[in-house]
Structure 1
Amino acid sequence: MKLLRLRWSLRDARRRWIQIVAIGFTLAIGIGLYAGLSSVTQWRLVSIDKSLEATRMYDLRATVSEGGDVPAGSLARLASEIDGIDRYNERLLFDTQVETVADGEELLVHGRIVGMDVSGSEPVVNDVHLIDDSARPASGTATPQVLVTRSFATFWDLPTSGTLTVGGDIDVDYVGAAVSPEFFLIIEGNGSLGKSNLAVLFAPLAAAQDISGRTGAVNDLVMTLEPGADAAAVTEQLIEAAASQDGVLLDVLTREATPSYIGLTGSPEIDQGIYNAISLLLFVGAAFAALNFSARMVEAQRREIGNSMAVGERPRSIVIRPLLIGLQIGIIGMILGVIVGYAIALQTVSVVQEVAWLPIFEQPFQAGIYGQAMALGFAVPVLAVLWPVVRAVRVKPVDAIRSSHLSSRGGSLGPIISRIPLPGRSLERMPFRNLMRAPRRTFLTLLTFTMSLAIMFAMLGLGSTFTTTLDDGNEELLGGEPDRFTVQLDSLYPVNSPQVQDVLANPTVQSGEAAMVLGANVTAAEPDGSVDEALQLDLAVRFVDFGSTVWTPTATQGSLSRGAPGIVLADKAARDLGVGIGDDVVVTHPALVDGAFTHSTRILQVDAIHPHPLRLNAYMDLSQTSTWGFGGLANIVTGVPADGSSLNDVKRSLFGSGSGVSLVQGLGETFQSLEDSLQQSQGVFFITRIFVIFLVMLIAFNTANISVDERSRDHATMFAYGIPVRRVIANLSVEGLLLGVVAVVLGGLFGYAILLWMALFQMPAAIPDIGMIVSVNWWEMALSFVLALAAIALAPVFPGRKLKNMFIPGQLRVME
């Protein structure tokens, strides 16, 4: 009997192999997405830790404030005198301009030279990892030698070695590519720059000093701490020692506060939350599809189950045969799930590595994750089969054996639904009646479509949200001038100084304005005057002329008043701080007192809120620089290219003028790091959308195929009366289309709720500096839904051959 049941189940599998494989593949998509995306998260977390350990990323980084520098050895001396510091290295960092040729076109981008020990002779804090270990730059060469960061070289497809021009007219040879923990992920503290427009060059310290003209100078110190050392205490001692001994103000940054580290280590777990949500919804949809189809397959064997009960076979024996079908579906789902999961994981890894390249990236097989997914995927079809079989064996044998034309399948709603008047003739009413006479079956099918379409809506909506956020941010910054730029000076200069005036008078510059940008820490002020230290934001406060006719920030709340002492916050910053118009914030900022830099704290009122999605951007009127001790000074100049000049013309002209310019950057380029950061999510969402569309097609195909099988007698009757096959297929298409339309409506509503949850709660946790602007591209959404409806409507065409070749007398024969 055991052998007989096995052969019988194999016969069932051979007869329904298309449905079994399709249901198994439906489950495999849910299994694969969960296991594949979860594996990538584990790979990233392990690889990030090992990469940071191998390159010895700093625990603390101290930088001389406001672009200053000190003699080499002075920062090292301070570190040697403070307990708790283990290793330390002095560096010289400065911004420059990098010019080269990429793909036959001139490339002029922001550059950053990092002068450090790149010899590899001894362990170095924040070391570089060379792609080719034999390509190390040498000191003392006629032409300075450097390493270029791998992300930039890969993006622009640069040769393995070549020549770059920095600072306007200094040629340097790059001898290879490298990565450093500080630049595994290219994100700046002000949210600007990215892998495509930031060329980080690693050079020997002496070469960097020569290029910058700062002979024997350093401005940066990276340190690792001894186990158990208090980072806060070391920071305080370091700042006090520098101020008292050398009169130098240091800005100290911990590893955990480094923007690139936050993005690198924080995003995998946040991304996993989004992956879990996507995978769970898809798996639920796939599980309901398997439940629905398995149940319908078992119900089609109702008479055979009744015959088994009539001859005295025990219910637990009857259950074995259909359970074997469930086991077959589960095994196929598990095997295909591993294949799909690994394919998704490898494709996702390629997307992840394009955004953040790690020197060590391990990809061990995640047996635990796949085991969980496969166990769940195996249990679903078994339980899906068990439920209808248990229902079937609980009825009387005579009711189970009764022919379908004598048995009611309408359920408890059948008598009610039968009284609903419908227009048209019998054939026109048939798709509606078919849906209404089996409400449980219809509901399960509708649920599977709804889940899939909801995920597709959410994925498309997230892509549109990212695009709108970036576009609105650029529109606010540019003010209608696509080539608006900012010139960063290498120090603070009086507004009437030659350095500032040379920039304003440059023939390539038009509508230039001197301004100031300073970093500040902002905290909400409590009503009792206390400060909530748990919520502090580091902002870039830009002092601009609120009365300017060239450009001012847009005030969506409050107003901009020339000479007003208040601050203008981004909408995202205001919401994060929990403040509104008229509320007070505590601002800690650098100040210039008697020619020396120090820190000062003041309370400012929020006068206005601007719509830029980047919360780091804050504004004050230019007249308020005097209250911070910087009256009459400037460190940036903004403007637009003069008629007949391009942005590259401005960059080349200003860097070659020797006017103290350290950086010329188009404001349209400042969102590049955000675009790079979102690229990974966009890539994962695109991969997910492909599998969702595949899932919709599978569900539609299975629905049509099983409907043809379980209604074979109905269709044979229609053929016997002369109704053509194309009309039967058209009815099935209308039935699917009706379900599809309802699923589109429900899926759109549910998908929009998912979109709001991801955009307003999940994405801000992954990228906290961006205020997402939820947007939906309705044309793209409508096209996607039309394609989904077309797939659902056309699915009955595939079993058309089965209908055409049907043996009508055999289907109509009734044995009583």
Structure 2
Amino acid sequence: MKWSWRDLRRRWPLVAAIALVIALGTGTYASLLSTSAWRRQSNDASFALLHVHDLRVRLPQGTTATEGVLRAVVAGLSRAADVTAARERLVVPTQLAGPGDLLVSGEIAGTDSTPGPQVDGVSTTAGRALRPADDGTAAVVVDSAFAGRHAGLVPGELTVSGGSRVRVVGAGQSPEYFLITGGQGATPFLSQSSYGVLFTDLHSAQRVTGAAGQVNDLVLTLRPGCDRAAVAEELGRALRDTPATRAATVSTRDDIDAYRVLYEDIEGDTQLWRVIALLVLLGAVFAALNLTTRVVEAQRREIGIGMALGVPSRWLAVRPLLFGAQIALLGVGLGMVVGWVVGIPLRNVFVDMLPLPIWRTPLQTGVFLQAAALGFVLPLAGVAWPVWRALRVQPVQAIRVGHLAARGSGLAPVLRRLRLPGRGYHRIPIRNLLRTPRRTALTALGIAAAITTLVTTTGAIDTFHGTLDRAEREFLHAAPDRVIVTLDGFQRQDADAVRTVGALPQVGRADAGLLLPVTARSGAADVDLVAEVLPDGARWSPSIVSGAATGGLVLAEEAAHDLGVNVGDTIVLDHPRATPEGLRTDRTTMRVAGLHPNPMRMLAYLDQATAAPFGFTGVTNTLTVTPAPVWTSPTCGERWSPSRTSARRTRPRRPPRACARPWTST
């Protein structure tokens, strides 16, 4: 022990370097792999805190039922005893206008506030929660992520579609909206700064939306241990037997976008973190092996003298092994500190990126012990290897050190058979590398691990940004000035709302389209899609990399790959169908007409003729608006936009004569 301590003191800079390398590797490994457990525990606690629903009943977009009908259906089930709580809701898309020229899409979620167990509750993060006295008073709690990106909302006042005003009394979170992925009637993948969700009571939602006594949603929780699938199946049959709810769909908590994404991302991120952590740890191990090997090889003379004096080999091995064990212990101890320190900013990153009401980040003892074991065993093996090699040779060979110890070893003799240009001393660096190939390989592997880690992380980020850039190029390859208007439900193409938008003086052209959620199936594979029915002669249409834009469904290349289909193959679509009794879910076999290059695999396109079996002829829920041209006079700088033509005016009015011509169009 005294000799090993003397070795530590004599080589303290090298010891410190080895220990620091081990600490960085083990600490990074422990902290990165701890994040998966943190996220899973935080998800579990957050969803349990707010009583996330087990089953959800949703009526088709634009349809409602009388308040109490959905609850009555649940009460009539033979398995009604398995239901612990049920709440009717009114969930409708809207637009929000507020301070600072705020104008964004949003959603109003009104939940029955009668006393009893809550379902999909709201955790308040600012202001106050809703009270019984707020029932029917248009008081709302805004989504906390949205409020955090727009100052001055809490407390405040907002205007929703239809001109109704609501009082914002607080900010909070609800399980379905931990992540915003686009809501009912909304475009998918909206950010939490451009999509606001208002939580309120059922009567307030009915008041501000003009849907008195109506609901379109029901959420319920089940008794632990019951057969959720059996309850969902019976509930679906009961809904189909009730005329007012015949087109309703039943989903589970696994179908919640936020729930699915938060848990599925853990698995994908764990794989990435494990790769990065192992690369960092391997880089540290290779560096530690190289350094400890040099330390032990420096003691070859002492080992050789000990063997020549007859000291047993096992005694000679104790001193360098103790030296290696002490370095490993020192590195592991520092590694636990490094892991704890690195975990602090990692926790802050996840808290900012994934705003959950509860974040649990306890010390992951198992992960740290695993990192400690790796950080101890591998450097110790790096010491044992050269000690074992030194004890296997004759004492006279062990006494040789420096260049004499490596003479004739390694791959240096290979140079004798190769004719290299230049003088002999030009080959000395190459000979040094080949004379000790093990040391050279360890150094190269350590550097390679560091470079691989850098390439992996930067490559992942670059791939993400590259995907978004490809999607942006596809969206803007034609008519980049268009504006997408999402209606609050299905409307006739000659409805007042559609005509009003088309008659605005700022609108040059308004094309009526249709956006429908569908599920494509092929064999055992299925992909959820957002199918857009493009109007005839639309200014924008997707780029086609294979096949045609008409005569079937146009899929993304990624979706076609996942489904295992190509142009000309057939797939099965589960889609809504408009019937005289309302919307129903139907199944249609459809041909794949073409493929588009957008990396967002959920995007699919149909022409009007192909979409005819859906029963939505003459119906729209989205408008593609092209702005009217703006004319500018270079003489006086006046800007002028022509008015829309009408039945009495077939030509747009001319620019005012106050400014001299020419006028230029933009």
TM-score above 0.5: yes
The one-letter code of the counterpart of 2:179 is L
Pairwise CA distance, 1:11: 2.7
Q: Which residue does the alignment assign to 1:261?
A: 259
Q: Which residue does the alignment assign to 2:529?
A: 539
Partners of 2:567 and 2:144 lie apart in 1 by 45
- Which of residues 267, 279, 285 is equivalent to 2:283? 285
Please tell me whether residue 459 in structure 1 is matched to residue 449 in structure 2.
no
Q: Which residue does the alignment assign to 2:565?
A: 579
Partners of 1:636 and 1:268 lie apart in 2 by 35
Tell me the alpha carbon deviations over residues 192-225 of structure 1, each in whole angstroms, 9 at most, x when there is no partner: 2132222111112222111111122211100112
Matched-pair contact (CA < 8 Å) for 2:410–2:437: no
Q: Equivalent residue of 2:474, what SS?
A: helix
The one-letter code of the counterpart of 2:535 is D
- Which of residues 323, 331, 334 is equivalent to 1:333? 331
- Map residues 77-92 of structure 1 onto 2, 5 A cutoff: 77-85=72-80, 86=83, 87-92=85-90
Partners of 1:93 and 1:483 lie apart in 2 by 31
Q: Which residue does the alignment assign to 1:96?
A: 94
Q: Which residue does the alignment assign to 1:592?
A: 578
The one-letter code of the counterpart of 1:68 is T
Q: Which residue does the alignment assign to 2:657?
A: none
Partners of 2:297 and 2:50 lie apart in 1 by 62
Q: 1:581 to 1:159 in 2, by over 3 A?
A: closer
Pairwise CA distance, 1:468: 0.9
Q: Which residue does the alignment assign to 1:436?
A: 434
Q: Which residue does the alignment assign to 1:557?
A: 546
Q: Which residue does the alignment assign to 1:36?
A: 31
Q: Which residue does the alignment assign to 2:7?
A: 12
Matched-pair contact (CA < 8 Å) for 2:507–2:626: yes
Pairwise CA distance, 1:481: 4.6
Q: Which residue does the alignment assign to 1:174?
A: 168
Partners of 2:397 and 2:489 lie apart in 1 by 92
Pairwise CA distance, 1:160: 4.6
Please tell me whether residue 200 in structure 1 is matched to residue 186 in structure 2.
no
Tell me the alpha carbon deviations over residues 678-725 of structure 1, each in whole angstroms, 9 at most, x when there is no partner: xxxxxxxxxxxxxxxxxxxxxxxxxxxxxxxxxxxxxxxxxxxxxxxx
Q: 1:14 to 1:507 in 2, by over 3 A?
A: farther
Tell me the alpha carbon deviations over residues 377-402 of structure 1, each in whole angstroms, 9 at most, x when there is no partner: 11111111011011112211112223
Partners of 1:425 and 1:108 lie apart in 2 by 76
Partners of 2:618 and 2:272 lie apart in 1 by 49
Matched-pair contact (CA < 8 Å) for 2:302–2:399: yes
Q: Equivalent residue of 1:39, what SS?
A: helix
Tell me the alpha carbon deviations over residues 354-399 of structure 1, each in whole angstroms, 9 at most, x when there is no partner: 2322222222221121111101111111111011011112211112
The one-letter code of the counterpart of 1:51 is S
Q: Equivalent residue of 2:117, what SS?
A: coil
Matched-pair contact (CA < 8 Å) for 1:545–1:552: no
- Map residues 365-404 of structure 1 onto 2, 5 A cutoff: 365-402=363-400, 404=402
Q: Which residue does the alignment assign to 1:295?
A: 293
Tell me the alpha carbon deviations over residues 442-484 of structure 1, each in whole angstroms, 9 at most, x when there is no partner: 1111111112211211211111110010111122123355553
Q: Equivalent residue of 2:244, what SS?
A: coil
Matched-pair contact (CA < 8 Å) for 2:126–2:154: no
Q: 1:509 to 1:442 in 2, by over 3 A?
A: same
Q: Equivalent residue of 1:287, what SS?
A: helix
Q: 1:156 to 1:274 in 2, by over 3 A?
A: same
Please tell me whether residue 64 in structure 1 is matched to residue 59 in structure 2.
yes
The one-letter code of the counterpart of 1:579 is V
Pairwise CA distance, 1:421: 4.2
Tell me the alpha carbon deviations over residues 745-795 of structure 1, each in whole angstroms, 9 at most, x when there is no partner: xxxxxxxxxxxxxxxxxxxxxxxxxxxxxxxxxxxxxxxxxxxxxxxxxxx
Structure showing greater relative contact order (alpha-carbon pairs closer than 8 Å, 6 or more residues apart): 1
Pairwise CA distance, 1:491: 2.5
- Which of residues 105, 112, 130 is equivalent to 1:110? 105
Q: 1:385 to 1:238 in 2, by over 3 A?
A: same
Q: 1:485 to 1:239 in 2, by over 3 A?
A: farther
Q: Which residue does the alignment assign to 1:152?
A: 146
Pairwise CA distance, 1:621: 0.3
- Map residues 583-732 of structure 1 onto 2, 5 A cutoff: 583-643=569-629
Q: Which residue does the alignment assign to 2:308?
A: 310
Tell me the alpha carbon deviations over residues 637-678 of structure 1, each in whole angstroms, 9 at most, x when there is no partner: 112444459xxxxxxxxxxxxxxxxxxxxxxxxxxxxxxxxx
Tell me the alpha carbon deviations over residues 150-188 of structure 1, each in whole angstroms, 9 at most, x when there is no partner: 222234455653333332744322222211111122224
The one-letter code of the counterpart of 2:603 is N
Q: Which residue does the alignment assign to 1:184?
A: 178
Once the two structures are overlaid, the 10-residue window that deviates more, 474-483 or 334-343, is: 474-483
Partners of 2:137 and 2:381 lie apart in 1 by 72
Matched-pair contact (CA < 8 Å) for 1:483–1:640: yes
Please tell me whether residue 213 in structure 1 is matched to residue 210 in structure 2.
yes
Q: 1:390 to 1:307 in 2, by over 3 A?
A: same
Matched-pair contact (CA < 8 Å) for 1:187–1:193: yes
Q: Equivalent residue of 1:18, what SS?
A: helix
Partners of 2:513 and 2:423 lie apart in 1 by 77
Matched-pair contact (CA < 8 Å) for 1:567–1:620: yes
Q: Which residue does the alignment assign to 1:275?
A: 273
Q: Identity of aligned pairs, percent? A: 39
Pairwise CA distance, 1:403: 5.0
Please tell me whether residue 477 in structure 1 is matched to residue 475 in structure 2.
yes
Partners of 2:334 and 2:377 lie apart in 1 by 15
Matched-pair contact (CA < 8 Å) for 1:191–1:616: no
Q: Which residue does the alignment assign to 1:706?
A: none
Q: Which residue does the alignment assign to 1:355?
A: 353
Matched-pair contact (CA < 8 Å) for 1:117–1:124: no
Partners of 2:348 and 2:196 lie apart in 1 by 22
Please tell me whether residue 21 in structure 1 is matched to residue 30 in structure 2.
no
Matched-pair contact (CA < 8 Å) for 1:95–1:113: yes
Pairwise CA distance, 1:143: 6.8
RMSD of aligned residue pairs (Cα, Å): 2.4
The one-letter code of the counterpart of 1:535 is A
Please tell me whether residue 131 in structure 1 is matched to residue 125 in structure 2.
yes
- Which of residues 215, 218, 222 is equivalent to 2:219? 222
Which has the larger helix fraction?
1
Q: Which residue does the alignment assign to 2:640?
A: none
Q: 1:142 to 1:58 in 2, by over 3 A?
A: closer
Pairwise CA distance, 1:57: 0.6
Once the two structures are overlaid, the 10-residue window that deviates more, 195-204 or 506-515, is: 506-515
Q: 1:386 to 1:262 in 2, by over 3 A?
A: same
Structure 2: tracts of 5 or more residues without a match: 632-666
Q: Equivalent residue of 1:99, what SS?
A: strand
The one-letter code of the counterpart of 1:326 is G
Q: Equivalent residue of 1:66, what SS?
A: coil
Partners of 2:614 and 2:422 lie apart in 1 by 80
Q: Which residue does the alignment assign to 1:447?
A: 445
Once the two structures are overlaid, the 10-residue window that deviates more, 404-413 or 78-87, is: 404-413
Q: TM-score, normalised by structure 2?
A: 0.88
Partners of 2:151 and 2:48 lie apart in 1 by 29
Partners of 2:514 and 2:77 lie apart in 1 by 35
Q: Equivalent residue of 1:95, what SS?
A: strand
Q: Equivalent residue of 1:131, what SS?
A: strand
The one-letter code of the counterpart of 2:452 is A
Partners of 1:613 and 1:100 lie apart in 2 by 34
The one-letter code of the counterpart of 1:235 is A
Q: 1:139 to 1:504 in 2, by over 3 A?
A: farther
Q: 1:591 to 1:160 in 2, by over 3 A?
A: closer
Matched-pair contact (CA < 8 Å) for 2:127–2:154: no
- Count how many residue pairs are aligned between Structure 1 and Structure 2: 624
Matched-pair contact (CA < 8 Å) for 1:411–1:439: no
The one-letter code of the counterpart of 2:579 is V
Pairwise CA distance, 1:289: 1.8
Q: 1:64 to 1:402 in 2, by over 3 A?
A: closer
Once the two structures are overlaid, the 10-residue window that deviates more, 382-391 or 423-432, is: 423-432
